[in-house]
Amino acid sequence: MQYRTLGRTGIKVSPYALGTLMFATSVGNPDPDDSARVIHKALDAGINFIDTADAYGDSEEVVGKALKGRRDNVVLATKVSRPMGDDPNRQGASRRWIVKAVEDSLRRLQTDHIDLYQIHRPDPATDIEETLSALSDLIHSGKVRAIGTSGMPASDLVEAQWVAERRGLERFHTEQPPYSILSRGIEREVLPTVRRHGMGVLVWGPLGQGMLTGRVRRDRPNDLRRAGLVKHLNDERRIDVAERLASLADEAGMRLTHLATAFAIAHPDVTSAIIGPRTMDHLDDLLGGLDVTLTDEILDRIDEIVPPGTDVGTLDQAYLPPALRDSALRRRPVGARSAA
């Protein structure tokens, strides 16, 4: 395993991180002991980076129990800001919520510190100085080692770095954006921005939300596709591209999953890609691609199928900034339009 440095933190992490959403008993593997065996096998294979979140059901509890006796050998990351119930103050990136949420995560993870504490999604309602001030205090107290963001637009990343410098606060060390062959939009602005600021990048969704597992094919029935429960699985543009990538993988003599994950970590600005197995079989498949390296010829072929900096379709979980979510921010009041 060739470990990489996480931005400028000095922390060494594996090029693949173990995502733990599928270890939540409510949405993934219902057997915590089986999830623990998956975690242990990933660690034995050399993966030392584990990513979870407070909003992933009971994932933190499952991870905390599984890491007993092995915590010191793991770079443990979790996240805050997604809603944790109906209370409007149990979400977001305010100081009030962060200082409470971190204690809850520490308890669930059964640890006295978090190596990387990330803001799960931007919180436009909270001043970034308020968020950075609270996170800085957590670093100074020793409860958190490094801080990061997830899904933050490039302009917000720049503002956060500027505020940290001007106010003498700890700066964000990492960003966790979506990235796959199907979703290359971050190559335009986000990745160049994090490079300029020396940030580490932990990408999620390298398998394109399941589109690049090899199981979603035009000629193969799929219950989720038939039910129409997951929009991207019925996006004909994404299916067309997945078919072409599957053919490319066959020509190269590799599994589509290995092509997809190897692509994600081939970008020089990506530190680590999150893999999210639910079962031991899923993990075994992904571990089989740890040593896969894509040649320039294959990368050029991928660029022909999906040009750099472009997205094929829209991610179901993509972050939409207020300017896109709130129509009032895009339209002048009726009276103002009439006067014009």
265-280 pLDDT per residue, tens: 999 999 999 999 999 9
d(CA 47, CA 14): 5
Residue 241 and residue 312 in contact, taking contact as beta carbons nearer than 8 Å: yes
Q: What does pTM read for this prediction?
A: 0.92
Active site residue 56: yes
* Residue 226 predicted with pLDDT over 70: no
How many whole angstroms from its chain centre is CA 123? 17
Query: Residue 230's pLDDT band (boundaries 50, 70, 90)?
Result: low
CATH number at residue 157: 3.20.20.100
* pLDDT score, position 127: 98
* Residue 225 predicted with pLDDT over 50: no
DSSP 288-334: TTTT----HHHHHHHHHHS-TT-BSS--TT----HHHH-GGGTS--H
Considering the candidates 56, 117, 179, 319, report the single residue annotated as catalytic: 56
* pLDDT score, position 29: 94
SS3 28: coil
* Residue 61 predicted with pLDDT over 90: yes
Average per-residue pLDDT in the chain?
93
* Residue 223 predicted with pLDDT over 60: no
Domain encompassing residue 127: 4-339
* pLDDT score, position 233: 66
The values of phi and psi at residue 76, to 5°, are -105, 125
More confident residue, 114 or 326: 114
Number of domains in the chain: 1
Name the least confident of 47-51, 75-79, 239-243, 330-334: 330-334
* pLDDT score, position 229: 43
Instruction: For 156-214, write each residue's pLDDT tens digit.
Output: 999 999 999 999 999 999 999 999 999 999 999 999 999 999 999 999 999 998 899 98
The rounded percent of the chain whose pLDDT value lies above 70 is 93
Neighbour-count burial of 337, counting CB atoms closer than 10 A to its CB (0-12 exposed, 13-18 middle, 19+ buried):
exposed
What residue has token string 């994404």? Answer: 238
